[in-house]
Structure 1
Amino acid sequence: MTQNLENKPQKAIPYGRQHITAADIEAVVETLQSEFLTQGPKVAAFEHAFAEYVGATYAVAVSNGTAALHLCSLALGINEESRVITTPITFVASANCVRYCGGTVEFADIDPATALMDIAKVRQLLESKPKGYYSGIIPVDFAGNPVNMEELKALADTHGLWIIEDACHAPGGYFYDSHRQKQTCGNGQYADLAIFSFHPVKHIATGEGGMITTNDEQLYKKLLQLRTHGITRDPDQMEENHGGWYMEMQELGYNYRIPDMLCALGISQLQRADTGLARRKGIARIYDAAFKEIKGIEVLKTSTTALGTEGDTGHAYHLYVIRVQDRKGLYDFLRQHQIFAQVHYIPVHTMPYYRSLGHSKGDYPEAEQYYSECLSLPMYPSLTQEEQAFVIDKVKEFVGK
């Protein structure tokens, strides 16, 4: 599938890129010309469309994915006595949300084959402490590869834990449960709450933005209030009512609202989400075929529960990650040829802030070994066949030296 391309591409090839169409622009302009720029009808319309897309009952649109994580943590009551387990291979926000609320973060090492949090290691961690020691788990559908949420939910229930599914990489992703039923990421069947991000390199781009999904009505109502300063305008929830202008701040919330312009863009992007996802899977298949027999290149495996019939996978492919011995050398070589691959992620526990809390390098050897070898290759729907062929050729050229 590759070809020899000696010349550099006409433009740089990033690891990810947004795709904005004329329809997207028209949707934003239409909203700019409407009566509402924020707190208007596009917010609820985006929430409804997204909840339907992932199969959840409720959705709450917020200013970004980190805000989504923070609000989930607040809604579930994380405090100074809370201990929460997450993966070291994620963006720091997956752990930081616990710290925002004063809780303690602990990590479970990854499965090296998938780079997902290893559920067996989560079980070991839970069984090493008395019940009640931990409060919850934040699994991450890393790279778009879905966690087996059914298995994790059974484990969480045994120990009385809640789950926040970090599905920022996986809108449209899914796995098959023990009954071979398709379970979409963020559908709320196995997690109390799930969160998504609409950063430009994600499947759905709004510039900045995030979404929380849930099937729990009480959590949904609490999130709506926390999103807007802890204020309610619902007369049924007020302690007093002075008139039509009256509102009550009932708890300490935040301004994590998202404007209507960005929701209009999100609605437009969502309408072609399936097309973009199909293209991502097609790009992944080409990479898989190109690297299958190449010594020195290891491709992350898809979760076994995300594999259906031949050619069917629930992997959402936000990222396409390979592992190589000389990662730094390949990273620099690709940049010399205008290919801007990226590293996802630096293990959270090795960050100076988390080391100051008692975590140390060497605590999670699989995560650290993975970090020393991982590289995310260009993966986005508008990546052309010629550009992908160029990337493949350059990777093979370096590894073959």
Structure 2
Amino acid sequence: MIPYGKHHIDEDDIQAVVDVLRGDWLTQGPQVDMFEAAFKAYTGAEYAVAVSSATAGLHLAAMAAGLSAGDTLVTSPITFVATANAARYTGANVAFADIDSATLNMSPEALDKVLSQTPGAKMVVPVHFGGLPCDMEAISAVAKRHGCLVVEDAAHALGGTYADGNMVGEGGFSHMSVFSFHPVKAIAAGEGGMIATNDEALYRRLIRLRSHGMNKLDDPFLDLDLAFDSNERNPWYYEMQELGFNYRITDLQCALGTSQLAKLPDFVARRRALAARYDTRFAEFSHIKPAQPMARDRSGLHLYVARFDFHALCMTRREVMLHLRAQGITTQVHYIPVPAHPYYRAQGFDPQDYPASWGYYHECLSLPLFYDLTDDQQDHIVGVLKGLDG
């Protein structure tokens, strides 16, 4: 089977993990610092905090931003549920701003309308869907006008660049950016995530929240009587200063992540070349078209999504997926709109209130896109689809 996404692991990656296994640390050792330093150097961010997953990163970002009951986080309906759930973890509410039908990213105009109608809005989380960076200049301006913090869900977009040429995560348009190292993402660490920021206060709080809310770096102790004896610090002493979590990442994962990060330019270049081949071939199709054909040279290209006119094909999406699977091709749907899930419906959301997202959902299908996908395999995929397109 050709999967829709797959990690690429070589001997350098394997050796990096083996070296950790033969060393003195397995978790929260020097490899974490090395990965964070490499990530800062790549993105241009001032600070980076490695965590156990992008979901953990979104949760901590919401907490560090001070999101709580009575506040509202505004995000896109077309994203994985973790983006919206980050608000619910803090007791805050969620609102959705519909996508732009062409880019599939949050519409700045829709965001402005939602924020105008949501007095409790405190945080905006644009999603760089499929790897295509949002119009961050416009989104940032809208959020600032309404007094909201901006946290980029950049889980799809590592290796992408903004319209100004800076790397996604550089931080010029947001307070924090959250990345994913799940195996189907741009680089793999097994699991894992990263929060990038240029704000030292946010960085220091993220470091504490990552590890149970305990004091870190040079945070001052609060209980001086217990912390010191005759003006000397007690060597065993530490403090939990707020409620945090065990969202730490291991040295094993960070060694793999650092090794993978060095290969990221090659990974992104291959994904862009494959996307260009798809785009060229689909130009000849009548009922199957690229869903995000713009700015391929700036996209991280986590996904290659096509829009299908299933009615014109005289097939349902289920029938198309099963037909492709019978030909050795795996596809996926990204995503069921978050307001359509039973949990969010129970809170009063109706996915049809977001017509661009709802319309996209009924036409989308993600095709295989990953570094090791060969030209022959891609030609096979396109050939099978051509047989459906007529």
1:9 corresponds to: none
| Contact 1:51 1:59 survives alignment (8 Å) | yes
| Contact 1:330 1:395 survives alignment (8 Å) | no
Q: 1:351 to 1:91 in 2, by over 3 A?
A: same
Q: Deviation of residue 236 (structure 1)?
A: 4.6
SS in 2 for 1:175: coil
Q: Deviation of residue 301 (structure 1)?
A: 3.0
Matches within 5 A, 1:119-198: 119-129=108-118, 132-176=119-163, 181-198=164-181
1:115 corresponds to: 104
1:353 corresponds to: 343
| Contact 1:64 1:198 survives alignment (8 Å) | yes
1:389 to 358, 372, 379: 379
Distance across 1 between alignment mates of 2:293 and 2:93: 31
1:258 corresponds to: 249
Distance across 2 between alignment mates of 1:379 and 1:365: 28
User: Which one-letter code corresponds to 2:56 in the other structure?
Assistant: A
Q: Deviation of residue 360 (structure 1)?
A: 1.6
User: Which one-letter code corresponds to 1:175 in the other structure?
Assistant: Y
2:70 corresponds to: 81
User: Which one-letter code corresponds to 1:277 in the other structure?
Assistant: V
| Contact 1:135 1:161 survives alignment (8 Å) | yes
| Contact 1:60 1:220 survives alignment (8 Å) | yes
- Does the alignment pair 1:317 with 2:305? no
Distance across 2 between alignment mates of 1:254 and 1:128: 33
User: Which one-letter code corresponds to 1:206 in the other structure?
Assistant: A
Q: 1:233 to 1:281 in 2, by over 3 A?
A: closer
Structure 1 unaligned residues grouped into runs of 5+: 1-11
SS in 2 for 1:34: coil
Give the alignment's TM-score, normalised by structure 1.
Answer: 0.92
> How many pairs align?
376
Matches within 5 A, 1:259-298: 259-298=250-289
| Contact 1:333 1:398 survives alignment (8 Å) | no
2:235 to 217, 237, 244: 244
Kindly provide the CA deviation profile for residues 305-347 of structure 1, in whole angstroms up to 9, marking residues without a partner as x: xx4xxxx710111000000022333212111111001110000
Which runs of 4 or more aligned residues in structure 1 lie more than 3 Å from their structure 2 counterparts after TM superposition? 233-236
Structure 2 unaligned residues grouped into runs of 5+: 229-233, 311-316
1:207 corresponds to: 190
Q: Deviation of residue 133 (structure 1)?
A: 3.0
2:329 corresponds to: 339
- Does the alignment pair 1:19 with 2:8? yes
Q: Deviation of residue 128 (structure 1)?
A: 3.4
User: Which one-letter code corresponds to 2:251 in the other structure?
Assistant: D
- Does the alignment pair 1:228 with 2:215? no
Q: Which moved more, 1:71-80 or 1:319-328?
A: 319-328
SS in 2 for 1:237: coil
User: Which one-letter code corresponds to 1:157 in the other structure?
Assistant: K
| Contact 1:59 1:211 survives alignment (8 Å) | yes
SS in 1 for 2:196: strand
1:8 corresponds to: none
Q: Deviation of residue 233 (structure 1)?
A: 4.6
| Contact 2:70 2:120 survives alignment (8 Å) | no
Q: Deviation of residue 151 (structure 1)?
A: 1.1
User: Which one-letter code corresponds to 1:287 in the other structure?
Assistant: Y
User: Which one-letter code corresponds to 1:87 in the other structure?
Assistant: S
1:53 corresponds to: 42
Q: Indicate the percent of aligned positions where both proteins have the same amino acid.
A: 46
User: Which one-letter code corresponds to 1:164 in the other structure?
Assistant: V
User: Which one-letter code corresponds to 1:322 in the other structure?
Assistant: A
| Contact 1:233 1:246 survives alignment (8 Å) | no
Distance across 2 between alignment mates of 1:325 and 1:164: 34
Q: 1:234 to 1:193 in 2, by over 3 A?
A: closer
SS in 2 for 1:331: helix
Q: 1:367 to 1:75 in 2, by over 3 A?
A: same
2:83 to 79, 82, 94: 94
User: Which one-letter code corresponds to 1:207 in the other structure?
Assistant: G
Distance across 2 between alignment mates of 1:162 and 1:75: 11
Kindly provide the CA deviation profile for residues 238-260 of structure 1, in whole angstroms up to 9, marking residues without a partner as x: 12223122101000000000000
2:362 corresponds to: 372
Q: Which moved more, 1:242-251 or 1:292-301?
A: 292-301
Q: Deviation of residue 234 (structure 1)?
A: 4.6
User: Which one-letter code corresponds to 1:255 in the other structure?
Assistant: N
Distance across 2 between alignment mates of 1:96 and 1:232: 27
Distance across 2 between alignment mates of 1:82 and 1:20: 42
SS in 2 for 1:14: coil
Q: Deviation of residue 302 (structure 1)?
A: 4.5
Distance across 1 between alignment mates of 2:105 and 2:217: 42
Distance across 2 between alignment mates of 1:39 and 1:84: 31
Distance across 1 between alignment mates of 2:161 and 2:293: 11
Q: CA RMSD in A?
A: 1.2
SS in 1 for 2:8: coil
SS in 1 for 2:166: strand
| Contact 1:227 1:254 survives alignment (8 Å) | yes
User: Which one-letter code corresponds to 2:93 in the other structure?
Assistant: T
